[in-house]
């Protein structure tokens, strides 16, 4: 049905009407007092959402841009980087580090698993010469729906003296994340995720330890250069022409997040993810991430039941129920489907999504007790 599409992919995510109407306004000059005031709000409220005392830089780019901005301000050719890889986006850190001439080593786990902190501790203990300068990791791995214990991992990285660089693209807003308390040195995220605005902005925050490494970077990339952005944050400005309309939308979205409260927002995502996981199991499907403790609160990956294909599930969900769910990526294509519960998602959406998933599987011949998924959602939503 026209205009009824509900996005349950891991981004873009649904955008509130009050944000869209802000974005729909004619662009204003980016050097005007009016825009400067918007930037002041944005920079202040981003610190609240990121739970940090440090500045949060905003780039006009995809989320991948902020990932590049992280490593391209830290790595010199020949540096050693250790990448903790849960899937596709963990591997993106590897590629970016390699593109800067770093020597990259991976600790990789199988689909749906997370990094065992003791494995990391052991590997770092072997690095007696302290060659490893940076450890990259992913909070919520968008390609599998697995979520690392960032707190435990970053403590180990800190003890070793390396920098932790964390992909929070689908975790910030959705999951509890305390960069200052946990010792995350660099944290990045993207706008089309928990921030409830369309794609086109990306975020980065770095602490003092990271800034010291930045100062040793021989060729920080011009567009991503932290120094230029930090200066601009201090002046409620941007170094280059920003995506004005998206900033205006972000200002509105951050106001909504503040009104809900970041703790409440995190709790809502947790409730939704756990309710969805319980529902999926009740209707006889297998989850990619076995353990609730290792599950992302923004994205849930699911194996189709025997005899039912992922493309068919996606097609019926879209055509009959106007819900878009994501396919697997790369080797996981057509092997799993992924449901996002990220950003502007209410309890009713969970009920309708699980109901629609039940209806879809019923149409496609899967045998299960009709209503059992929705029942689990209702119980879990509390």
List interacting residues with a second copy (CB under 8 A): 3, 5, 7, 9, 11-12, 14-15, 20-21, 23-32, 60-65, 68, 72, 77, 95-96, 99-101, 190, 192, 198-200, 218-223, 225, 240-246, 324, 326-327
C-beta of residue 308 within 8 angstroms of C-beta of residue 347: no
For 183, phi and psi rounded to 5 degrees?
Answer: 75, 30
Q: Cβ of residue 85: shortest distance to a second copy, in angstroms? A: 16
- Tokens standing for residue 136: 């990259």
Q: Which is nearer to a second copy, 20 or 364 (CB)?
A: 20
Q: Which is nearer to a second copy, 109 or 169 (CB)?
A: 169
Q: Cβ of residue 22: shortest distance to a second copy, in angstroms? A: 10
C-beta of residue 288 within 8 angstroms of C-beta of residue 278: no
Q: Cβ of residue 64: shortest distance to a second copy, in angstroms? A: 4
Q: Which is nearer to a second copy, 282 or 326 (CB)?
A: 326
Q: Which is nearer to a second copy, 59 or 182 (CB)?
A: 59
Q: Cβ of residue 222: shortest distance to a second copy, in angstroms? A: 4
Give per-residue burial for 164-179: e unless 16+ CB within 10 Å, then b.
bbbbbbbbbbbbbbeb
CA-CA distances (angstroms) from residue 241 to 30, 127, 204, 362? 7, 43, 18, 51
Q: Cβ of residue 18: shortest distance to a second copy, in angstroms? A: 12
Q: Which is nearer to a second copy, 262 or 325 (CB)?
A: 325
DSSP 307-349: T--HHHHHHHHHHHH-EEEEEP-GGGTTT-EEEE--SS--HHH
Give the whole-angstrom CA distance, residue 214 versus residue 302.
Answer: 40
DSSP 191-243: TTTTT-S-SSEEEEEE-HHHHHHHTT-SS--TTT-HHHHHHHHHTT--SS---
Q: Which is nearer to a second copy, 192 or 294 (CB)?
A: 192
C-beta of residue 69 within 8 angstroms of C-beta of residue 204: yes
Q: Cβ of residue 377: shortest distance to a second copy, in angstroms? A: 24
Cis bond leading into 12, ω under 30°?
Answer: yes
Q: Which is nearer to a second copy, 5 or 309 (CB)?
A: 5
Q: Cβ of residue 327: shortest distance to a second copy, in angstroms? A: 8
Q: Cβ of residue 249: shortest distance to a second copy, in angstroms? A: 9
Q: Which is nearer to a second copy, 138 or 245 (CB)?
A: 245
For 256, phi and psi rounded to 5 degrees?
Answer: -65, -40
Q: Which is nearer to a second copy, 72 or 376 (CB)?
A: 72
Q: Cβ of residue 319: shortest distance to a second copy, in angstroms? A: 12
Alpha-carbon Rg for the chain, nearest whole angstrom, is 21
Give the whole-angstrom CA distance, residue 179 versus residue 142.
Answer: 20
CA-CA distances (angstroms) from residue 323 to 46, 317, 319? 30, 5, 8
């Amino acid at each position: 049905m026209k205009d009824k599409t509900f996005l349950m992919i891991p981004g873009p995510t649904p955008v509130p009407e009050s944000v869209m109407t802000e974005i729909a306004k004619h662009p204003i000059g980016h050097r005007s007092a009016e825009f400067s005031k918007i930037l002041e709000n944005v920079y202040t409220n981003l610190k609240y959402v990121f739970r940090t005392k440090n500045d949060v830089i905003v780039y006009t780019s995809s989320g991948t841009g902020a990932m590049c901005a992280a490593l391209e301000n830290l790595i010199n050719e020949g540096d050693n980087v250790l990448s903790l890889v849960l899937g596709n986006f963990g591997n993106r850190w590897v590629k970016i580090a390699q593109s800067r001439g770093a020597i990259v080593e991976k600790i990789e786990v199988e689909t749906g698993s997370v990094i065992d902190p003791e494995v990391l501790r052991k590997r770092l203990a072997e690095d007696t010469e302290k060659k490893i300068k940076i450890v990259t990791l992913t909070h919520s791995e968008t390609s599998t729906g697995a979520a690392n214990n960032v707190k435990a991992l970053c403590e180990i990285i800190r003890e070793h003296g390396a920098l932790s660089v964390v992909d929070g693209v689908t975790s910030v807003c959705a999951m509890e994340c305390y960069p200052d308390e946990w010792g995350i040195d660099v944290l990045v995220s993207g706008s089309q995720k928990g921030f409830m605005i369309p794609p086109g902005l990306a975020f980065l925050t770095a602490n003092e330890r990271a800034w010291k490494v930045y100062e040793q970077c021989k060729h920080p990339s011009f567009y991503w250069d932290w120094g230029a952005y930090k200066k601009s944050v201090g002046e409620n400005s941007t170094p280059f022409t920003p995506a004005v309309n998206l900033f205006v939308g972000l200002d509105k979205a951050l106001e909504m997040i503040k009104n809900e409260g970041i703790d409440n927002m995190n709790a809502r995502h947790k409730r939704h993810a756990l309710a969805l996981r319980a529902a999926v199991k009740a209707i006889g499907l297998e989850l990619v991430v076995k353990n609730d403790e290792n599950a992302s609160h923004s994205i849930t990956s699911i194996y189709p039941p025997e005899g039912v294909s992922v493309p068919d599930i996606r097609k019926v969900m879209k055509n009959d129920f106007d819900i878009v769910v994501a396919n697997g990526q790369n080797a996981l294509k057509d092997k799993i489907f992924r449901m996002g519960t990220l950003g502007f998602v209410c309890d009713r959406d969970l009920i309708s999504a699980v109901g629609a998933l039940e209806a879809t599987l019923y149409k496609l011949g899967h045998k299960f007790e009709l209503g059992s998924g929705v029942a689990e959602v209702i119980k879990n939503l509390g």
